[in-house]
């Protein structure tokens, strides 16, 4: 199949909600972002979480596949360090291949500074990190990705089993899912199936 035939085709059933591409010098910030994402139920590709899975693999091929195919979104943590790193550039090129083939928002640039990155047009929307905490960036990523379906259904299952609802949990859900949760609670209260 010619490469151009893939243009506009969206990859389905990704293993990760988001993959993180960064330079080692920026790891302290990125590790906090990864931790917050994981605590929110976002399936995150972050190298430290994948040590066993990466052990013994051909990293050149495997990482190209991860950054091209395995996630819903790819966050590039852009910095002067990022621009100089071989592995970061390899990850970026794989992500750009995906972004080009889908012609859709896949790459989510997050900038530590104004370092230009090859192939990343200045017209692409980005987040500036200078005044943004890792948790604040994580919250933005969660909003972009959306609440993971598996977490939502696990929460519903928990509520059905326990037959109670925690108001602080309900308040964190988007309105659409909150109304579904309210219906589930009403069904439990009335002891009928809905």
Fold of 3-145: Rossmann fold (3.40.50)
Of 188, 77, 95, 61, which Cα lies nearest the Cα of 141?
77
User: Measured between alpha carbons, how far is 102 from 38 in angstroms, rounded to an integer?
Assistant: 26
Burial of 192 by CB count in 10 Å (0-12 exposed, 13-18 middle, 19+ buried)? exposed
In what order do the strands lie in the sheet containing 16-21?
44-45, 16-21, 71-78, 107-111, 127-128
What pLDDT, in 10s, does the model give residues 132-181?
999 999 999 999 998 655 555 555 555 555 555 555 555 555 555 555 55
User: Measured between alpha carbons, how far is 132 from 116 in angstroms, rounded to an integer?
Assistant: 20
User: Measured between alpha carbons, how far is 74 from 30 in angstroms, rounded to an integer?
Assistant: 13
Contacts of residue 136, defined as CB under 8 A and 6 or more positions apart, other chains included, come to none
What does the H/E/C string look like for 3-60?
HHHHCCCCCCCCCEEEEEECCHHHHHHHHHHHHHHHHCCCCEECHHHHHHHHCCCCHH
Confidence at residue 14, expressed as pLDDT on a 0 to 100 scale: 83
The pTM of the whole model exceeds 0.85: no
* pLDDT tier at 122, thresholds 50, 70, 90: confident
Confidence at residue 72, expressed as pLDDT on a 0 to 100 scale: 94
Q: Quote the strand ranges of 61-144, DSSP E.
A: 71-78, 107-111, 127-128
* pLDDT tier at 8, thresholds 50, 70, 90: very low
Higher pLDDT, 187 or 115: 115
What pLDDT, in 10s, does the model give residues 61-120?
999 999 999 999 999 999 999 999 999 999 999 999 999 888 778 999 999 999 999 888
Name the residue ranges covered by the structural domains of the chain.
3-145, 149-190
Q: What would the DSSP string read from start to end of 153-175?
A: HHHHHHHHHHT---HHHHHHS-H
Contacts of residue 95, defined as CB under 8 A and 6 or more positions apart, other chains included, come to 19, 21, 67, 68, 74, 76, 106, 107
The helix (H) or strand (E) run that includes residue 62 is helix 59-69
Is the pLDDT at 18 greater than 70, yes or no? Answer: yes
What number of residues does the chain have? 194
Of 14, 16, 20, which Cα lies nearest the Cα of 110?
20
Confidence at residue 1, expressed as pLDDT on a 0 to 100 scale: 32
CB 23 within 8 Å of CB 77: yes
4-29 mean pLDDT: 78
Confidence at residue 160, expressed as pLDDT on a 0 to 100 scale: 53
């Amino acid at each position: 199949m010619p490469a151009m035939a893939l243009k506009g085709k969206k990859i389905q059933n990704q293993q990760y909600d988001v993959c993180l591409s960064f330079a080692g010098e920026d790891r302290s910030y990125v590790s906090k972002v990864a931790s917050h994402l994981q605590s929110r139920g976002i399936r995150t590709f972050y190298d430290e979480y994948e040590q066993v899975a990466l052990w013994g693999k051909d990293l050149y091929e495997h990482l190209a596949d991860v950054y091209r195919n395995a996630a819903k979104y790819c966050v590039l943590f852009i910095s002067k360090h990022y621009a100089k790193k071989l592995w970061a550039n390899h990850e970026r090129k794989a992500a750009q291949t995906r972004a080009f083939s889908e012609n859709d928002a896949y790459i989510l640039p997050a900038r530590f500074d104004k370092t230009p990155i090859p192939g990343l047009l200045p017209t692409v929307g980005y987040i500036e990190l200078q005044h943004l905490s890792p948790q604040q960036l994580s919250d933005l990523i969660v909003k972009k990705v959306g609440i993971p379906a598996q977490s939502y259904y696990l929460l519903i299952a928990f509520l059905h089993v326990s037959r109670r609802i925690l108001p602080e949990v309900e308040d964190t859900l988007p309105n659409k899912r909150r109304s579904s949760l309210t219906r589930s609670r009403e069904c439990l209260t009335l002891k009928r199936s809905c």
